[in-house]
Structure 1
Amino acid sequence: MLIFAAAVFFLIITPGPGVLSTAGVGSAFGARPGTRYVLGLFIGTNMVALAVVSGLAAVILADPAIRTLLFVASTAYLLYLALRIATAGSRIAFVEAVRPPGVLDGVALQMINPKAYAVNTTLFSGFAFGGGSLLAETLLKFLVVNTIWIPIHFLWLWLGITLRRLDLSQRAHRAINIAMSLSMLVVVALALAYQFIAIRP
């Protein structure tokens, strides 16, 4: 179980759409909107985990067209979130973020987030504890995953909020928001590169 917990920790804490957007929302909009967004991510990741455990995700993702559609949708949504974070608090931006992301935004991101499916598939299909029932093992995995998931995401949210609370100039805050957005764009670029490599013969 310790190996499983370690895998959960490293798979979740590494930069991905969920944690990077959490820090970005915290930096751009503050604690309350950030907490609502994390709640949405929490609901979404558990919905994905349930889909993986039930086998529904495997059936759906077996279709290359659906996999491509999810990839395109997640990429577009990450670009949209990156734009909203980059333009938050910036009067000179050509698009101004009017409403901070909320619960539904977090759920939506996880439902189309390829990393969420990959991580949950890895965790729930591997790392068999042995010696017990499959149901007990699955429930224990849900408990371990969520026990680690929650503080990690609030850590990233706190980092974003801390940047927001620093006595920095408007230009510095704008630079931080843009840096957060660029980090998300790096994730998108890596995902595109991986997709390109995967489809090459």
Structure 2
Amino acid sequence: MLTFAAAVFFLIITPGPGVLSTAGVGSGYGLRAGSHYVLGLFLGTNMVALAVVSGLAAVVLADERIRTLLLFASAAYLLYLAFRIAFAGARIAFIEKSKAPGVMGGILLQAINPKAYAVNTTLFTGFAFLPDNPVWEVALKFLVMNAIWIPIHFLWLGAGITLRRLDLPQKTQFAINIAMALSMLAVVALAALAPH
């Protein structure tokens, strides 16, 4: 189970649409709005995990048209975020909207987030530690995953809030924007190159 917990930690903490956008909402809207968004991401990632565990994701994604549609929707959304980040000027502006994305924004992002499906598939189909009791193993995996997922996302939210409060030089702010945009583009590239 320790190997599983380590895999959860490293798969979740690495930059992907969920954690990057969490930092962005924290930077743009603060703790209250960021907490609502994290709640949506939490609900969304658990819905994706349930879809993976139940086999629903495999059934739905077996249809080439649906898989292609979701791939294009997620790539388009991630490219949009990368564009907004890169061309935000010298300000740290992960996400700019007149209204915070909220709970529904978090749920919807996870529904089209290729990393959410990849991570949950990896975690729930691998790292067997109770082969004689798969139901208990899945329940423990949900417990461990969420126990790690929650603090990691609040750390990213805190990072976004902290960046908002810092008075960084314009050159540093621009470098952060570019790094965030490149991270989003890397996620898009990985999703496009992944076997379908």
Matches within 5 A, 1:53-72: 53-72=53-72
Corresponding position of 1:117: 117
Query: What displacement does 1:134 show?
Result: 1.9
The 2-side partners of 1:136 and 1:30 are apart by 38
Aligned 1:6-85 pairs, distance under 5 A = 6-83=6-83
Could you tell me the percent identity over the aligned residues? 73
Distance 2:99 2:89 in 1: 11
**Cα distance in 2, alignment partners of residues 102 and 172 from structure 1:** 29
* Paired residue type of 1:161: I
Q: Which residue of 1 aligns with 2:145?
A: 145
Q: TM-score, normalised by structure 2?
A: 0.85
Contact 2:86 2:177 in 1 (8 A): yes
Q: How many residues align?
A: 193
Taking the aligned partners of 2:53 and 2:32, their CA distance within structure 1 comes to 32
- Give the aligned residue type for 1:57: A
Q: Deviations over 1:103-160 (max 9, x none)?
A: 1111001011111111111111121112652221111110000000011111111111
Deviations 1:47-102 (A, max 9, x none): 000011111011111122211111111112223344555677999xxxx6211221
Equivalent-residue separation in structure 2 for 1:103 and 1:82 (angstroms): 21
Q: What letter matches 1:49 in structure 2?
A: A
SS in 1 for 2:118: helix
Corresponding position: 1:108 with 2:88: no
- 8 Å contact kept, 1:88–1:97: no
**For the structure 1 residues 89 and 43, does the alpha-carbon distance in structure 2 shift closer, same or farther, using more than 3 Å as the test?**
farther
CA drift at 1:30: 1.9
Per-residue deviation at 1:24?
Answer: 1.8
Quickly say closer, same or farther: Cα 1:81–1:36, change in 2 above 3 A: farther
TM, length-normalised to structure 1: 0.83
2:141 maps to amino acid: K
Distance 1:89 1:40, change over 3 A: farther
SS in 2 for 1:98: coil
